[in-house]
Amino acid sequence: MTAFVFVATFVPKIPIPLGYAHLGDAAIFLAVMFCGRRIGIFSGVIGSALADLLSGFPIWILPTMFIKAAEAEIFFRLHEKNFLLGLIAAGLIMAAGYTFAGAFLYDSLSAGLASTPGLLMEAAVNIFATVIISAAIRR
C-alpha cells in the first residue's frame, strides 16, 4: 500500500487550474477503506513523504507526514458513518494543512493562501476518484 500511495502521488499529473493534481489521496482513502486505519496511515505518511523526497521537495516531508496522518485518521473516523462526509472532511484537512504549512514554510500567509484553490481542486479530483474506484472494487 505504501508503494501504491507513492506511485499514485508521484506518477499521474492530472491538469487542473493553477497546476496539476495526483491521485495519492485517493490511494490513502482506499488503503484506509480496504486495509484499515494503521496501514492507511502508515502507507499515506511514508508513500507521500517518499514522493516529496524523490520529487525534489524535501522541505515538505515533515508537513506531509502530519497532514497525511491527519487526513487518513479523519477519513477513518468518518467514512463508515458517512462516506462522502469523510472524504470531504479529509480533503478539507489536507487543503488547510498545506495552506498553513505553505504560509509557515514561505513565511507568507498570501503564499499559503495562493495554493488553496489548487489544493481544493486536488481534493475534489481525489474524492471523485475514490468514489469511482471504491464502487468498482466493491462490485
- Ordered structural domains, the chain, with CATH: 2-138 (1.10.1760.20)
Count of CB atoms situated within 10 Å of the CB of 106: 14
Reported for 111-117, long-range contacts at CB under 8 A and 24+ positions apart, including other chains, are 115/18, 117/17, 117/18
Looking at every residue in the chain, the average pLDDT score rounds to 95
- pLDDT tens digits, 104-127: 999 999 988 999 999 999 999 999
Q: Is the pLDDT at 13 greater than 90, yes or no?
A: no
Please give the model's pTM, rounded to 2 decimal places.
0.94
Measured over all CA atoms, what is the biggest interatomic distance in the chain, rounded to whole angstroms?
Answer: 47
- pLDDT tens digits, 22-64: 999 999 999 999 999 999 999 999 999 999 999 999 999 999 9
Three-state helix/strand/coil letters over the chain? CHHHHHHHHHCCCEEECCEEECCHHHHHHHHHHHHCHHHHHHHHHHHHHHHHHHCCCHHHHHHHHHHHHHHHHHHHHHHCCCHHHHHHHHHHHHHHHHHHHHHHHCCCHHHHHHCHHHHHHHHHHHHHHHHHHHHHHHC
Confidence of residue 18 (pLDDT cuts 50, 70, 90): low
CB 64 within 8 A of CB 41: no
Residues in the chain, total: 139
β-sheet bridge partners, residue 14: 21
Q: What sign does the CA torsion over 95, 101, 102, 103 have?
A: positive
